[in-house]
Amino acid sequence: MSTHAYRIGLLAGDGIGPEIVPAAVAAVDAAARAAGLEPVDWVELPLGRAAIDAHGAAVPAETLAALDGLEAWMLGPHDSVSYPEPHRSQLNPSGTIRKHAGLFANIRPAASFPGSPALVPGCDLVIVRENTEGFYADRNTYAGTGEFMPTPDVAIAHGIITRAATQKIARVAFELAMQRRKHVTIVHKANVLQVTTGLFRDVCRKIGAEYPEVTIDDFHIDAMTVHLVRRAADFDVIVTENMFGDILSDLSGELAGSLGIAPSLNSSLTQAMA
């Protein structure tokens, strides 16, 4: 029996959140018992529409402060598009928490379970998605957003790839591969976005050189969608930038049976949000 008692935050969210989060809690409690861990200390925190009604914010300051003292938390679905203004136009709850806690890695496993309607049987892979940069306007700048309109007829988005962020996500991918089948696939679009995703590819390969036991290959994002549909079972760990990872993780989840059985973890080096 471990003497460490985990304190995990509980944010039920909106819609079906209050229905499915308790089921997830029961599963975690059962897993903790099976692993010989101390019972989990669940810390319920306000979030979402109920928090707007009670505290005037979808993610109250007291919720963020409480998360700072926790090792992990479980976040249910949120329905930010139904929030009243000005809350609807603000950064959504999951984005707010990701940015506050610096959760730079989005880990998305996709495995076909027996009895599930898998389109690609035998699929068992993990998408490791860089979670802070790229073209996503809510994440890639210190202040303001990455989208703007200089005139009503022109919309501009800028994408950011940095060496430091790529090194961090690459190490997560290669460390994970060392625990699995020792194969990392880098996904990019360096034939077109030569400077940005080219940097991502090259930095990942440089980090990979520190892991000689790991097999490394790379594919353009468009080709990778075809490879996943045809032979998802051949892949182990896939590392990519933000937007490509968002798309590929949804695709791989569906190939494995359903997006509804595809888990997601957002993490830093010290905290995680499931």
In 10 A of CB 56, how many CB atoms? Answer: 9
Tokens (6 digits) for 158? 């800028």
Kindly provide the residue ranges of all beta strands, DSSP E only, lying in 158-245, ordered along the sequence. 183-188, 215-220, 237-240
What is the C-alpha separation between 55 and 63, in angstroms, rounded?
Answer: 10
Share in percent of the chain as helix, strand, coil (round to 5): 40, 20, 40
Q: Is 14 marked active-site?
A: no
Among the listed residues 14, 83, 136, 236, the single catalytic one is: 136
Tokens (6 digits) for 48? 């979402």
Q: Is 18 helix (H, G, I), strand (E, B) or coil?
A: helix
Q: Is 189 marked active-site?
A: yes
Q: Is 168 marked active-site?
A: no
Among the listed residues 14, 83, 189, 236, the single catalytic one is: 189
Distance of CA 264 to the CA centre of its chain: 6
- Cα within 13 Å of Cα(51), Cβ side: 23
Q: Is 136 marked active-site?
A: yes
Give catalytic residues, as residue numbers. Answer: 136, 189, 222, 246, 250
